[in-house]
Amino acid sequence: MKTKISELNPFNSGRLEHAFVWETIKEFYSKYNKNIKCLDYGGYDGMLMEELIKSNFTKNGVTVDLNLDIINKFKNTVSKYHQMIGIKKGKPLPFKKESFDVITIIGVIEHVHNQKYLLNEIYRILKPNGLIIIAVPGKHLFSFLDFA
């Protein structure tokens, strides 16, 4: 599937995986024409969620990450609509069943030991007819350098 990256996309000259996510969520948002609740799993500094909020796709954005130092560093610098939460490896995600319309996992799942557990947790907190976007590194000339 080819996705056209629009001029309005804040990632159009940067991270292509974030540009793809932005375009996909824009389409999902326009389909339902409502404010959607989004979770970025392993979102590190929260940059993706901040752009989704600035684009008015969500006023309910959550970034979770295992790196508590990064969470603590950025949690007080993000929008009031953006929550940054530290999570613990192998523990259930701290959300109720069917909490999110959209969940993104970008460049993270290939580093997760128990992927089945994570995907079951993601499915548990995803609303019916919700959207999961998972991106993993692609094969390229220098793939042999990626030891993950």
The Cα 80–Cα 95 span in angstroms is 19
Residue percentage of the chain with pLDDT more than 70: 91
Q: Render pLDDT for 84-135 as a digit per residue (tens, 0 to 9).
A: 999 999 899 999 999 999 999 999 999 999 999 999 999 999 999 999 999 9
Place of tokens 């603590």: 72
- DSSP class per residue in 79-130: -TTEEEEE--TTSPPSS-TT-EEEEEEES-GGG-S-HHHHHHHHHHHEEEEE
- Asked if 40 contacts 106 with a C-beta cutoff of 8 angstroms, the reply is yes
106-36-90-105 Cα dihedral, nearest 10 degrees: -10
Q: Contact at 8 Å (CB) between 46 and 71?
A: no
16-32 and 47-54 helices, crossing angle to 10°: 40
12/63: higher pLDDT: 63
Give the distance, in angstroms, between the CA of residue 18 and the centroid of all CA atoms in the same chain.
Answer: 9
Average pLDDT over every residue of 137-148: 57
Distance between CA 98 and CA 19 in Å, rounded?
Answer: 26
pTM as predicted: 0.88
Which among 32-41, 42-51, 137-146 has the top mean pLDDT?
42-51
The phi and psi torsions of 110 (rounded to 5 degrees) equal -70, -10
pLDDT band at 148 (very low <50, low <70, confident <90, very high): very low
